[in-house]
Amino acid sequence: MDQFIDMRALLDGVDIFTVSLWLCGLLLIMVLIGVRVAFAAAFVGIVGLCIFFMQRQGFDRGLVTALKLAGQVPHSKSSGYALSLIPTFIVIGYLAYYAGLTRTLFEAAKRWVGWVPGGLGVATVFATAGFAAVSGASVATSAVFARIAIPEMLRLNYNKAFAAGVVAAGGTLASLIPPSAILVIYAIIVEESVGKLLLAGFVPGFVSALIYAGLVIGLAKWKKDLGPPVTGYTWGERFAALPGALPIMFVIFIIIFSIYYRGEDGAWATPTEAGALGAFVVLVMALWKGMKWGELKGALMEAAKLTAMIFAMIWGVLIFVRFLGYAQLPDVFAGFIGGLEYSPYLVLLAILLVYVILGMFMDAIGMLILTLPVTFPAIIALNGGPDVTREASAFGMTAEECAIWFGIIVVKMAELCLITPPIGLNCFVVAGVAKDSKLPITVQDVFRGATPFFAADVATVAVLIAFPGIVLWLPSLI
Amino acid sequence: TEWNVSVWGQRRAFTEHIHYLADAVSEATNGAFTMNISYGGLSNNRENLDGISIGAFEMAQFCAGYHPDKNRAITVLELPFMDVRNLDEEVAVSHAVYDHPAVAEEMAQWNARMLMTSPMPQYNLVGTGEPRDEVAEMDGMRVRATGGLGELFSSVGGVPTSVTSSEAYNAMESGVVDTVAFAQHAHLSFRTIDIADWWTENLNPGTVNCPVVVNIDAYEALTDEERAVLDAAVDDAIDYYLENYGELLARWDEVRGRARGRARHDRRGAAGAARRGRGPDPRRLDRGNERRRPARAGALRSCGRHPAGGAFGQLSPGAS
Amino acid sequence: MSSSNVQSDNSLLSRLDRAVLRVEAALNLIGGATILLLVLMAVWNVIGRKLFNAPVPGYVDWTSQFMILFAFLGLSYCQREGGHIRMDIVVMRLRGRTLWFAELLSVLFMLILTTGLIYGSWHHFLRSFDWDMALFSRDSSIDIGLPLWPAKLIVPLALSLLWVRLVLQVWGYARGLRQGGDAPVAVPLPEDPMEQASREAETVSGHDKG
Ligand code: NA
Ligand code: NA
């Protein structure tokens, strides 16, 4: 019993807030040396809880309390209804591929917009944007289009770095345009309406696609060797390509119809249910196209593995967040940010800059889950607190609007990290898929090709900050 | 002594008595006994009893209906048609039940001790379309109501429809459900009242019962003085709560007045509007074919005293 | 399906690895099937509500219960395949014994954590379970009162399987540390980004159609 009393004496006078800062440092080190992020976060969280409760209850009781408390989190946080969408969005991406939705979409886009400068690049942008409306995951979207769009571009002597870059960047649209797993995760962490966030991504997603397309056209005009337009399609051929894109239109129609059509008896489905309806339609299409049992099983195995990974991230990080709740770190940080004398836009910019730097090294979902518990309350405090009126707020919006607006911006930032070196998952995947094509494409090539799109994304974020209406208009309608 | 207190959501009328209690206790002990009130930072709302049981925090609020099997005894307070007519009665009734040994024993299994209630008025329906002011009109009505409340509506042909409370606004606005059952403060905060064509005022279908509990070990570890201060602060805290909730109900009347005006002008003709704002009378559900009595605005706040005995002799578990 | 990056031979460790893998893969597939099940339930809920005014009773409650299956049944399989996210910027640069030491340290952290979580989540289950109650239930869902203990029991069970997997990996990396070399059996070998990407690409390398 003696050493337990010593333990209390040892920890006595240790300020739990200071401990939380040290533990944030420890977490960083563990993540750096390659401990799986979910488990590093949970480990550090439990250590923190142990210190907190050992101070109050002594060694053995404190340990038991901390473990029991942490042991609630995995079940409790994994059974939140809104998270049920995540695997649906993952599986839909795999199924859409087997339903043959990607190649036909690209073909139609090529015939309709291929005539502009850099035509195949523009077609790729619009095809990925269209596919984004059924796929919820960026990396999968890039992988799928790398197989379809890159060989075609190389055949027409497009610059290989450019061809790879446009596919890597186009894939990021999948997370802004609903459905989107990452937007759901954001909504869960900040306790905001999932439906509103998904709606909010729509317009910015298309604005982002337009900016990409404009960039491609500008680049193609400036550097003549980038790639030729694809001309010579007759209107007949253009319309003939449309039926191929119909299935995807149908899925989008089903989703929008079921949420917005009001018959005698009200709408068909809630936004959450509409996501599942879309997945069901794509599943039927995939089976209709002759998807084999082996392929379905493969898709399910992959989707289940990814799902387990994402949920582990969620509960692992939330164990850490539970400790932060005891240490009151987010409150203190929010108070600090809210009390700053600088312009709120400057502070926002500083926070976004941190995301750019983190994003160079981290995975998108991991980065968001790790940082939001601290940055989100800070942003709300910066805007003027949870009860602020539009007039009194820093950004001219209510707290709820601020949550939605910041969500779209921060998801766009997280998507940025998929195309920035040294760790940019989309670029790795594109290089991996393209290694079989006739010209070898290295990871460096892809990063080089994606650089202009990084600039375009910065422009998009600037536009979203300057004109919050782009984000807030659609959700304000419901 | 420093206590951690776990509640959820945001600071609102429903948690004001806890803030009052924290201030009162700290003041009376010159800061020797303080409480940190945390909104969701320490626990999920459905796991506050678990947290008390493992000693993760010293005080917490929870609602019986969130997990009936955890607290079968007090679910009796959520039964429909109890004729608890105002918050004063709700307090008296709740505390009478909390004092019952069966309740104390069940709470002790969670290492918890009842401190006070967080009285909520009876739930009411708000809905879209034609007012459902006869029991027969509830046939086929899609209603967002959980647990025992849902069962109650299904017993008259209603269709309990499963949507989360955060989806309730959207579900009602889009017609996925016709009606939503909440207490007034929730209708206000989830904004269901903003899109309602009609609402009930005295339906009396039951409510949720949400006690505040303390960890038994922590309570016993208090000094005699601290414990006395805490116990003494409860009545004042409840009084403060009632006063504050009264203001909220005034706001409810105001918002409802706006909605009524809007409904009259924007939606349908004056003929339809004439019936708006009248709910089914509980007596109709309760006692058969007595004539429907027009509901009075402010009925929820009427202060008639009601004997709070009798009905609590038998504690039947499983209201839901 | 992605080919995994785990070496095998005839050693006891490798045979155990493959035996456990069979269990993990089967559970992972059940997790995947649950995703489809929930999609079907959502469709049933919408159709039932719209056409027959008969939604699935307690749809949200049922969904929350089943979510635990896809959240946890793939947990250990994901670890076997090296699928949990990490930053490999440092690990990528290590070779041989240094690498196996870093990996060993990493899985030891995970093993300690998992042991603690098994204890904690088991007690979370115990608090919801009572032999003397109807359906053994001492905690139930908000709408239709489903007992919560079956879902809560899944968590310590899944963590226990992960625990077994981690013990095998501790063994594997310790063997790598002792024997040296570039490719110990029964552990996921670190891949450079290109290998990783080409495996990712294989997941969509079925037949191109349409
Ligand atoms: Na998408
Ligand atoms: Na990056």
Which strands sit side by side in the sheet containing B142-144, from one edge to the other? B159-160, B142-144, B179-182, B124-127, B198-199
Residue C38 confidence (pLDDT): 92
End position of a domain, from candidates A79, A94, A112: A79
Q: Tokens for A141, please give them.
A: 């979207």
- Chain-centre distance for alpha carbon A386: 25
* Assembly ipTM: 0.85
Mean of the per-residue pLDDT values of chain A: 84
Indicate whether A234 and A114 sit together in one domain: yes
Residue C199 confidence (pLDDT): 60
- A74 to C159: CB separation less than 8 angstroms, yes or no: yes
In whole angstroms, give the CA distance from residue C164 to residue A57: 32
- Chain A residues near residue B171 by CB distance under 8 angstroms: 270
Residue C196 confidence (pLDDT): 61
Indicate whether A100 and A72 sit together in one domain: no
Residue A476 confidence (pLDDT): 80
Whether A141 shows a pLDDT value over 50: the answer reads yes
Indicate whether A30 and A110 sit together in one domain: no
Q: Tokens for A189, please give them.
A: 């962490």
Residue A9 confidence (pLDDT): 65
Contact A457, A451 (CB under 8 A): no
Indicate whether A37 and A92 sit together in one domain: no
Whether A422 shows a pLDDT value over 80: the answer reads no
- B162 to C140: CB separation less than 8 angstroms, yes or no: no
- Chain C residues near residue A76 by CB distance under 8 angstroms: 124
Indicate whether A203 and A141 sit together in one domain: yes
**Which of A468, A456, A358 is closest to A406 using CA atoms?**
A468
What is the H or E stretch that residue B160 is in?
A: strand B159-160
What per-residue string of b and e applies to A351-361 under the rule 16 or more CB within 10 Å gives b? bbeebbebbeb
**Which of A373, C153, A188 is closest to B164 using CA atoms?**
A188
- C147 to B69: CB separation less than 8 angstroms, yes or no: yes
Residue B202 confidence (pLDDT): 78
Residue C13 confidence (pLDDT): 94
Q: Tokens for A109, please give them.
A: 């886009």
Looking only at the bridges linking them, the beta strands covering B198-199 and B124-127 are antiparallel
Residue A7 confidence (pLDDT): 61
- A322 to B176: CB separation less than 8 angstroms, yes or no: no
- Chain-centre distance for alpha carbon B245: 11
Residue B241 confidence (pLDDT): 95
> How distant is the Cα of B246 from the closest Cα of chain A, in angstroms?
21
Residue A94 lies in a domain: yes
Please name which ligand lies nearest the alpha carbon of A418: 2
Domain definitions of chain C by residue range: 12-85+96-205
Residue A465 lies in a domain: no
End position of a domain, from candidates A79, A111, A139: A79
Per-residue pLDDT of chain C (210 residues; tens, 9 = 90+): 334 678 889 999 999 999 999 999 999 999 999 999 999 999 999 999 888 888 898 898 999 999 999 999 999 999 998 888 777 778 878 888 999 999 999 999 999 999 999 999 999 999 999 999 989 999 999 888 899 999 999 999 999 999 999 999 999 999 999 998 888 899 988 766 556 656 655 655 443 333
- Picking from A57, A266, A325, the nearest residue to B176 by CB comes out as A266
Task: Determine phi and psi for A223, rounding to 5 degrees.
Answer: -110, 105
The upper half-sphere exposure of residue B313, i.e. CA atoms within 13 Å in the direction of its Cβ, equals: 2
In whole angstroms, give the CA distance from residue B209 to residue C198: 57
- Picking from B53, B142, B147, the nearest residue to C142 by CB comes out as B147
In whole angstroms, give the CA distance from residue A350 to residue C195: 36
- C139 to B147: CB separation less than 8 angstroms, yes or no: no
End position of a domain, from candidates A46, A79, A112: A79
Residue B290 confidence (pLDDT): 30
Q: What's the gap in Å between A135 CA and the centre of ligand 1? A: 5
Residue C25 confidence (pLDDT): 97
Indicate whether A63 and A53 sit together in one domain: yes
- Chain C residues near residue B141 by CB distance under 8 angstroms: none
Binned at pLDDT 50, 70 and 90, residue A181 comes out as confident
Residue A405 lies in a domain: no
Indicate whether A181 and A160 sit together in one domain: yes
Query: Which chain C residue has its CA at the smallest distance from B320's CA?
Result: C145
Indicate whether A45 and A85 sit together in one domain: no
Encode pLDDT of C60-70 as tens digits.
Answer: 899 999 999 99
Encode pLDDT of C2-18 as tens digits.
Answer: 346 788 899 999 999 99
Encode pLDDT of A218-258 as tens digits.
Answer: 998 888 777 788 777 888 888 888 877 777 778 878 877 77
Using omega within 30 degrees of 0 as the cis cutoff, is the peptide bond preceding B121 cis? no
- Picking from C53, C133, C137, the nearest residue to B140 by CB comes out as C53
In whole angstroms, give the CA distance from residue B21 to residue B38: 14
Indicate whether A146 and A250 sit together in one domain: yes
Q: Tokens for B9, please give them.
A: 């959501």
Contact A366, A310 (CB under 8 A): no
In whole angstroms, give the CA distance from residue C163 to residue C118: 9
- Integer angstrom CA distances of residue A304 from A308, B120, C65, C73: 6, 43, 16, 8
Q: Which of residues 444-473 of A touch C (CB under 8 A)?
A: none
In whole angstroms, give the CA distance from residue A206 to residue C188: 40
- B162 to C61: CB separation less than 8 angstroms, yes or no: yes
Residue C178 confidence (pLDDT): 93
What is the H or E stretch that residue B211 is in?
A: strand B211-215
Residue B266 confidence (pLDDT): 40
Sign of the CA dihedral running A355, A359, A361, A365: positive
Binned at pLDDT 50, 70 and 90, residue A103 comes out as confident
Residue A388 lies in a domain: no
Would the pTM count as exceeding 0.95? Answer: no
Q: For residue B37, which amino acid is it? A: I
- Picking from B56, B177, B178, the nearest residue to A65 by CB comes out as B56
Domain of A116, in residue numbers: 81-309+471-477
Residue A255 confidence (pLDDT): 76
Indicate whether A95 and A187 sit together in one domain: yes
Comparing A291 with B304, which gets the higher pLDDT? A291
Sign of the CA dihedral running C169, C171, C174, C178: negative
Indicate whether A147 and A184 sit together in one domain: yes
Contact C7, C183 (CB under 8 A): yes
Q: Tokens for A337, please give them.
A: 């940010």
Comparing A404 with C210, which gets the higher pLDDT? A404
Per-residue pLDDT of chain B (320 residues; tens, 9 = 90+): 999 999 987 788 889 999 999 999 999 999 999 999 998 889 988 999 999 999 999 999 999 988 999 999 999 999 888 888 889 999 999 999 999 999 999 999 999 999 999 999 889 899 988 888 888 889 989 999 887 888 889 999 998 888 777 778 878 887 888 999 998 888 887 788 888 888 888 788 888 899 999 999 999 999 999 999 999 999 999 999 999 998 888 888 887 777 665 544 343 333 333 333 333 333 333 333 333 333 322 222 222 222 222 222 222 222 22
Encode pLDDT of A143-176 as tens digits.
Answer: 778 878 888 888 888 888 899 999 999 999 988 9
Rg (CA), chain A: 24
Q: Quick one: three-class SS letters along B42-73?
A: CCCHHHHHHHHHHCCCCEEECCHHHCHHHCCH
Residue A95 confidence (pLDDT): 82
Binned at pLDDT 50, 70 and 90, residue A388 comes out as confident
Residue C202 confidence (pLDDT): 60
Total tally of structural domains belonging to chain A = 2
Indicate whether A124 and A75 sit together in one domain: no
Written as one string, the DSSP assignment of A288-351 is HTT--HHHHHHHHHHHHHHHHHHHHHHHHHHHHHHHHHHHTHHHHHHHHHHT--S-HHHHHHHH
Q: Tokens for C19, please give them.
A: 């035996």
